[in-house]
């Protein structure tokens, strides 16, 4: 098992600096958007590193990062060559590194969803559409560049009410990740939150949510989301055919324990064109440079 300690983050580790200069070309570095707390991510992705190392015949290191933006920056700077991105962060990264490819997505990611959750004190209940009563309440998104925690929830809010979030709500915040969003709404710090449905479902199943205090009130329409994206120059770094080896390793990941850590039932082929709807929405909201 190979993973970098959480303190050895992209912005400060000497090992990664050397890698960026081309000194460690025999190690594949990968990262993932920090959509949950760091300890859970390290547990999840250290196992994935073991699997990839065995399949690819190179050393593989998981690199924790502190923010969605740091994930994209690490990919742009060749500090990581492979990343488990959200829909928006994947679009951002592929724009910055031409030739990069979305190789795989979870079978769930072709039709992903967000939940709007509410504290019980609001009196809101599950409905077929977002109720007028949310106007004037407070809402927290997740990360500012989260597809399921901000981009698509904001898109559907604008469709429903014809207003920007800061015009619709009394307060708008950004918690940083889905787990934090759930905790803040459960505590009553925010009336409403927008979260990744898989994070919510897993937290409920594990008993990490008090559903007497917070509940789902609306589910968004489906959209494409998470993806494994690989830099377009890896064959030059690791040898001809390496891209196809990585693609096969991801698509053939079938260990139920590994898949449950995402959580996904399996991985299916993906390509850049699948994420055009995400790119279009991000352009509309001014989230792409």
From edge to edge, which strands make up the β-sheet containing 101-106?
59-62, 27-32, 82-85, 227-230, 101-106, 267-269
The whole-number pLDDT of residue 155 equals 96
Query: What is the Cα gyration radius of the chain?
Result: 19
CB atoms within 10 A of CB 165: 17
Return the DSSP state at 150.
I
Topology agreement, domain 14-109+225-273 and domain 113-219: yes
Where would I find the H helices in 26-121?
A: 38-56, 68-76, 87-96
For the whole model, what pTM was predicted?
Answer: 0.82
In a structure prediction context, what are the per-residue pLDDT tens digits for the chain, which is 289 residues long?
444 433 344 433 434 443 444 444 589 999 999 877 777 788 889 999 999 999 999 999 999 999 999 999 999 999 999 999 999 999 999 999 999 999 999 999 999 999 999 999 999 999 999 999 999 999 999 999 999 999 999 999 999 999 999 999 999 999 999 999 999 999 999 999 999 999 999 999 999 999 999 999 999 999 999 999 999 999 999 999 999 999 999 999 999 999 987 889 999 999 999 999 999 999 988 888 6
What are the boundaries of each domain within the chain? 14-109+225-273, 113-219
113-219 adopts what CATH topology?
A: D-Maltodextrin-Binding Protein; domain 2 (3.40.190)
Residue 71: CB partners within 8 Å, gap ≥ 6? 31, 32, 33, 34, 65, 80, 83, 85, 89, 93
14-109+225-273 adopts what CATH topology?
A: D-Maltodextrin-Binding Protein; domain 2 (3.40.190)
Integer angstrom CA distances of residue 249 from 12, 82, 171, 266: 30, 12, 44, 12
């Amino acid at each position: 098992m190979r993973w970098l300690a959480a303190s050895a983050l992209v912005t400060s580790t000497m090992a990664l600096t050397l890698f960026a200069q081309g000194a460690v070309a025999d190690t594949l570095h990968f990262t993932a958007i920090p959509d949950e707390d760091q300890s859970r991510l390290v547990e999840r992705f250290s196992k994935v590193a073991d699997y990839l190392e065995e399949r690819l015949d190179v050393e593989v290191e998981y690199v924790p990062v502190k923010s969605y933006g740091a994930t994209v920056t690490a990919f742009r700077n060749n500090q990581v060559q492979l990343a488990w991105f959200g829909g928006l962060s994947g679009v951002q990264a592929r724009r910055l590194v031409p030739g990069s490819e979305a190789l795989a997505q979870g079978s769930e990611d072709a039709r992903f969803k967000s939940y709007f959750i509410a504290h019980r004190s609001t009196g809101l209940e599950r409905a077929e559409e977002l109720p007028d009563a949310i106007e004037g309440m407070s809402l927290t998104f997740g990360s500012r560049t989260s597809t399921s925690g901000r981009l698509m929830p904001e898109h559907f809010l604008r469709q429903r009410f014809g207003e920007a979030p800061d015009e619709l709500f009394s307060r708008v915040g950004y918690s940083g990740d889905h787990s934090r969003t759930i905790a803040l709404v459960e505590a009553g710090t925010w009336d409403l939150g927008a979260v990744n449905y898989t994070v919510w479902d897993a937290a409920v199943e594990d008993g990490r949510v008090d559903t007497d205090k917070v509940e789902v009130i609306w589910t968004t329409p489906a959209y494409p989301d998470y993806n494994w994206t690989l830099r377009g120059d890896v064959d030059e770094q690791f040898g001809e055919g390496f891209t196809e080896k990585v693609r096969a390793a991801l698509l053939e990941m079938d260990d139920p324990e590994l898949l449950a850590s995402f959580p996904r039932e399996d991985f299916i082929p993906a390509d850049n064109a699948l994420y055009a709807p995400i790119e279009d929405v991000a352009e509309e909201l001014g989230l792409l440079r």
